[in-house]
Structures are given as structure tokens and as C-alpha cells.
Amino acid sequence: MQRVIETLRAGIAVALVGSAIGWAGEPPLAATPREAVALALADQNAAPAEAQPFLRYVWIPAWGDVDWIRAVNFGVNAAVSQNSVIVYPGRTASPFLVRWDLRILAPGEAPRRRLVANWERLAATEPYFHANRAGSGAAGRTQAAIVLAEHAGAGAIAQLAGQGATLVPIVRADWLLAKILTTLDGGLYYTFAGVEASVDPKQTDQQKFLAALGADEERSKQLHGAQRAALFRSAVTGKPRRIDVFHGIAGRAGTGLIAVTHDIGDGDLDPTQDPLRNLLRFLDKAREVIAERPNGTHLFALFNNFGKLQQSVPDDVAADHTIPAPHSRRLQPAISCIRCHGADDGFKPFTNDVGRLLGGRLDVFGEGAQISRLVDEEVARLAEFYADDLAKPLRRARDDYETAVFRSARAHVKDVSAKVAGIYAGYAFDQVTPAVACLELGQEVDAAAAPATLERLWPPLAADETGLAPEDPMLAALKAAIPINRSQWELVYADAALRAAIAGEARP
């Protein structure tokens, strides 16, 4: 009972924005990882010893704002949390340092073990509080080793990690969102959300996914609980599409609605692959599933026509047109789905073209794209699938999703989705300019002064045996006012921050 009271009290006390406004005096901010670690360590030291191994911190950097806290709350509840209700972070001395308790995110020993293990996987690519250093591997071979970063305060971050029993005691908010809401390039969305491939040869990945939600698509059809729509032209793919809707039993916060879109690829002109010519069965190429998690947020997964789990949609099926040029437009869960459906409160509207045509305009096609006289059973099945209007169940599903998102972020679906998309886009697509590099090293300067500032923060290194002073090409580019990509900055950030810290300590 005490834990329940603490959970509810945390939610009420924070009320999300309550942790970001109303502070007496000027709340402490953190412009660098070192400052963020110092705030986190002070908070951790104030916690009971038995709680410390379960505390994890998310740093909202100095250029973030209150809406970043909303985005983090949404992201954690939509991807990381294993709790069946919306949960909230604890309040720290700074509104821009978010504390999560794994015992609340994953009630129960087995879910907590999985969450702890998944969280530790972040260490492999975390660039702001860790560094890649050469180590000695098997047979004396040199290999990369992930270590806690010196620039974050060697003693402080080691203590924070030790008391927290973790290699990842603290992460940066925009980087975390990029990791927990993507599947490509090291994204861990499926890992955190519990979307796994099936090990049962008699069960497809899609069947396992649906079973985890208490759903069985074939059984739902047998019990006359499934509905369908078929479109001549999808607004998402520009091709014919079929949408299946049924329910699972995991939707404790709503109706448990599950929507499966079936798509074809470019050039799939075989009549058997047109969902309008094959209303009962057709040959699709890719599937997107949107389902309701127990806490009311949405769960996304992609499968091929054999029900095998996919990391992204095939390029000839659909693309993420919200991604700016010149970047590749791979469509991946969950971020692409959030961007696409968020503007429509979680489900994009569509018109059931089959339902419109069944209103006495023509007889329908049977299987194999041949016009045929359908038997009574097939007529009944077609009426069962296509005759009803899906607008009402989708409207209810949007209302359920709005409730869950508002509880998690104290903002509406459209606004939260746009904010998450904006944070992700800024992190993933914007180049790191000299001014941005300075800002992330704790120096706020204008664009004109940035290269000179970097020259001061990164003075020339000592000459090697050839008499040359080596310099990393990424850092040299920034000092020469040449922007670099975020992925390139991640690789050199630890060294850049350490050199800046050393230079700062050396100045009189």
C-alpha cells in the first residue's frame, strides 16, 4: 500500500509540469554532463540506500524546455514502462533533471530484471557520459571498451554508477528519445517495448505479438469480431490498401483496438495482389500493426507478408515523407508512426471504398479477381467485414489514446507528437555547427565567435614523433567552421569535452 501511495503521490506532486514550474528561487540547471552528474549524485545521495540501485536520471540540457519533459514522459510511458498505468518521474532539485524509479516502471521481479538488462544496453552507444577507449582483448588484440567518461567528473560519475549498480546512471533526453523510439541504426524500440521474434516454429512473429496483447486475429474472424476497410488509394502509400480492425484484451485503459494495415509494393500489378479485387484474401507485402498497450499508449510493429518482424517498411511500399531531404526516408517504428498518426490523434482517417460500392452500385469480386456469383456464406462474410462504418470504433480509439497521452504529458496528442518529432528531428537530422558544438560543451556563443572559441577549447595537441600535431578531422572541421553530422559528433564528443575541460582548468 505504501508503494501505491508513493506512486500516486509522485504523479500528483509532479503532475509533469509541476516539476518544471513553481520553483522557489532560480532552479539549478546543467549546461554540461559534469553539471548534470553533480545534480544527479546529490539527488541519489539523498535517496534511501535501498532505492539507489533502481534510480535512473534523464538530463534535459540547458537548451531544452518544459516541453522536453512532456516528451520524455510520453516516450518513457510509450516505450519503456511496463506498468499498466501511466507513471511519472520523481521530482529533483532541478526541473530539468528527471528521475525515474525502475521499481515503478516495471513492477514485479521478472519485468524489472528485463528492464534493467535492457537499460544497460544503452551503454554500448551512449556518447555523452561514456567514452570509447582502446582496451586489450583476447589474444592481446586491441578492442574498444566502453568506460564512464572523464569529462563528466570521473569521481562523481563513478560514484553515481556504483551506487546505482548500473553503467548507465544518466542519459541525455534527446538521445534517449532517439534510442527508445527507433529500430534502425541501433534503435532499441522493439527491445524496450517487448516486441520479439517468435521461437515457436508453429507461430509467426505476428501471431506472438498479437498473443501478447490477448488477441488472435483468426479467432476474432471466427467469432465475427473483425472488421475491414479497403481503399483504392491510400493517402500514406499511394497504392491500394486493406485495413483490418479487431480487439485484444490488453486494453485495460481503452477498448483494446488493434489495427493492421496490409500494403503492396510498387509494381505489384498481379490481380491477386489488389485488395479491391480480392476482398476476402489477397497477397500483401508488408503490414503495420497499431495496438493499445495496457496503459493506453500505442504499440507499433511491422511485419512482412509471412508475419516476420521487420525493422522498417520496404522502400517500394512506403516512405517516411516527414524526413527532410537529403536524408533517406526509411519508415521505422515508433517515431515514423508517431509522426504520421499523431496529427490525427493516433489514427489517420480513411474512407472505406468497399462500403461505398456495396451500396447497390455493383456486385463485388470473388477470389482470384474473377467476377463470380458468391455463395451465401461468402456474401455474409463480406457484409460482416466491410458493411459497418469504422468511424465510430476509430473515434473511440482516438479518445482512449488522447486520454493516455494527456495523462502522461499533460498535453494533447497532436502537440506531444509534434514535440517528440521536433526533438528527434533536431537530434537526428540537424548538423552540428561550431555554435552547437560550443553550446554542448557549455559555452553559449554566437555563430561568428564559435570557431575561435573551439580553437581555445581545443588547443593544438602535442606533436608526435614525426613532429606533427595530430587532430581529429571532425574537430578540425568544426574549428574551420565546417558543420558535421550528429553521428560524427557522437564519436568525438567524449574527447572534445575532455579537452575542453582540461583547457578550462588550465586557463588562469
CB 127 within 8 A of CB 137: no
User: What is the residue type of 165?
Assistant: A
Give yes or no: residues 139 and 71 share one domain.
yes
Mean pLDDT along residues 48-66 = 96
**Boundary-marking domain end, from 401, 428, 455:** 428
Note whether residue 195 is domain-resident.
Answer: no
Asked whether residue 102 falls in the same domain as residue 214, the answer is no
Least reliable range by pLDDT among 33-47, 124-138, 208-222, 224-238: 124-138
Note whether residue 147 is domain-resident: yes
- Determine, yes or no, domain membership for 191: no
Instruction: Confirm whether 198 is domain-assigned.
Output: no
- Give phi and psi for 441, each to the nearest 5: -100, 10
Rounded to whole angstroms, how far apart are CA atoms 238 and 43?
A: 52
The stretch 55-70 carries a mean pLDDT of: 95
**Do residue 155 and residue 269 come from a single domain?**
no
- With bands split at pLDDT 50, 70 and 90, how would you rate the model's confidence at 143? very low
User: Residue 508: what pLDDT?
Assistant: 44
What pLDDT, on the 0 to 100 scale, is given for residue 281? 80
Please indicate, yes or no, whether residues 164 and 238 belong to a single structural domain of this protein.
no
Asked if residue 235 lies in contact with residue 219, where contact means CB atoms within 8 angstroms, the answer is no
Tell me how far apart the alpha carbons of residues 496 and 507 are, in angstroms, rounded to a whole number.
17
Per the DSSP assignment, residues forming a β-bridge with 172 are 59
Residue 327 pLDDT more than 60?
yes
Structure confidence at residue 365 (pLDDT): 52
User: Using CA atoms, how far apart are residues 68 and 419, in angstroms rounded to an integer?
Assistant: 8
482 and 465 inside one domain = yes
The answer on 459 and 408 residing in a single domain is: no
Amino acid at 455: E
* pLDDT over 70 (residue 13): no
Same domain? For 8 and 39 the reply is yes
Q: What is the pTM of this model?
A: 0.90
The DSSP bridge pattern shows strands 298-304 and 309-310 to be antiparallel
Does residue 190 lie within any of the structural domains?
no
Provide the residue type at 254 as one letter. Answer: G
Residues 400 and 496 grouped into a single domain: no
Mean pLDDT of 113-117: 97
Separation between Cα atoms, residue 6 and residue 345, nearest integer Å: 31
State the pLDDT confidence band at 118, using cuts at 50, 70 and 90: very high
- Domain containing 375: what range? 205-428
CA 496 to chain centre: 28
DSSP 484: B
Provide φ and ψ at 408, rounded to 5°: -80, -30
Residue ending a domain, among 370, 395, 428, is: 428
CB atoms within 10 A of CB 268: 17
Residue 455 lies in a domain: yes
Rounded to whole angstroms, the Cα distance separating 290 from 383 reads 24
The CA-based angle 175-179-181, given to 5 degrees, is 115
Residue at 189 is within a domain:
no
Question: Do 378 and 455 fall into the same domain?
Answer: no
Mean pLDDT calculated for residue range 166-188: 97
Strands (E), 280-416: 286-292, 298-304, 309-310
Contact 411, 342 (CB under 8 A): no
Last residue of a domain, one of 180, 214, 234: 180
Residues 465, 414 within the same domain: no
Q: Does any domain span residue 193?
A: no
Q: Which amino acid is it at 103?
A: R
Q: pLDDT band for position 90 (50/70/90)? A: very high
Same domain? For 478 and 456 the reply is yes
Confidence of residue 10 (pLDDT cuts 50, 70, 90): very low
Residue (of 417, 406, 189, 175) closest to 296 by Cα position: 406
Same domain? 422 vs 439: no
pLDDT reading at 25 higher than 70: no
Distances (CA, A) of 68 to 20, 72, 73, 207: 10, 6, 9, 36
Contact between 259 and 279 under an 8 Å Cβ cutoff? The reply is no
Residue 491: CB atoms within 10 A of its CB come to 16
H or E element at residue 378: helix 376-386
Residue 464 has pLDDT above 70, yes or no: yes
Mean of all residue pLDDT scores within the chain: 87
Instruction: Indicate if the pLDDT at residue 18 is higher than 90.
Output: no
Task: Examine the pLDDT at 310 and tell me if it is beyond 80.
Answer: yes
Whole-angstrom distance, CA of residue 411 vs CA of residue 399 = 14
What domain count does the chain have?
A: 3
